[in-house]
Amino acid sequence: MIKGIFLLDKLTEGKIKRVLSLRANAVFIGYRNLNQKLIKLLKNYGLKIHTEIGIFVGEEWWEKYPDSRPVDKNGKLIDKIGWYAGVCPNHRGVRREKLELIKSIIDNYPVDGIWLDFIRYPCHWEEVRSKNIAEYCFCQGCLKKFKKDGGVKSEGLKWTQWKCNQITNFVGEARRLIDQSGKNIKLGMFSVPWRKNDFGGAITKIISQNFKSLAKYIDVFSPMVYQKMCGQKTAWIHKIVAYMKKITHRQILPIIQTEDKPTKLAVKEFADEFNQALKFPSEGVIVFFLEDLLKNSDKLRIVKETFQ
Could you give the CA distance from residue 119 to residue 256 in angstroms, rounded to a whole number? 19
In 3-state terms, what secondary structure has residue 173? Answer: helix
Could you give the CA distance from residue 169 to residue 56 in angstroms, rounded to a whole number? 14
Q: Would you tell me how many other CB atoms lie within 10 Å of the CB of residue 43? A: 14
pTM over 0.95: yes
The predicted model gives 268-285 an average pLDDT of: 97
* Total residue count of the chain as it appears in this document: 308
β 284-288/113-117 pair status:
unpaired
Q: Return the pLDDT at 195.
A: 98
Residue numbers of the domain that contains 275:
2-307
> In this structure, what CATH number is given to the domain that contains residue 45?
3.20.20.80
Structural domains of the chain, count = 1
User: What is the pLDDT of the chain when averaged over all its residues?
Assistant: 97
Split at pLDDT 50, 70, 90, the class of 148 is very high
Could you give the CA distance from residue 225 to residue 287 in angstroms, rounded to a whole number? 11
The predicted model gives 4-23 an average pLDDT of: 95
Is residue 274 a contact partner of residue 239, using CB atoms and an 8 Å limit? no
Split at pLDDT 50, 70, 90, the class of 277 is very high
Split at pLDDT 50, 70, 90, the class of 248 is very high
Could you give the CA distance from residue 278 to residue 308 in angstroms, rounded to a whole number? 13
β 2-7/26-30 pair status:
parallel
Could you give the CA distance from residue 290 to residue 172 in angstroms, rounded to a whole number? 31
Split at pLDDT 50, 70, 90, the class of 6 is very high
Q: Give the tens place of pLDDT for each residue, 67-108.
A: 999 999 999 999 999 999 999 999 999 999 999 999 999 999
The predicted model gives 282-298 an average pLDDT of: 96
Split at pLDDT 50, 70, 90, the class of 4 is very high
The predicted model gives 163-167 an average pLDDT of: 98
Q: Would you tell me how many other CB atoms lie within 10 Å of the CB of residue 105? A: 17
Q: Return the pLDDT at 106.
A: 98
Q: Return the pLDDT at 43.
A: 93
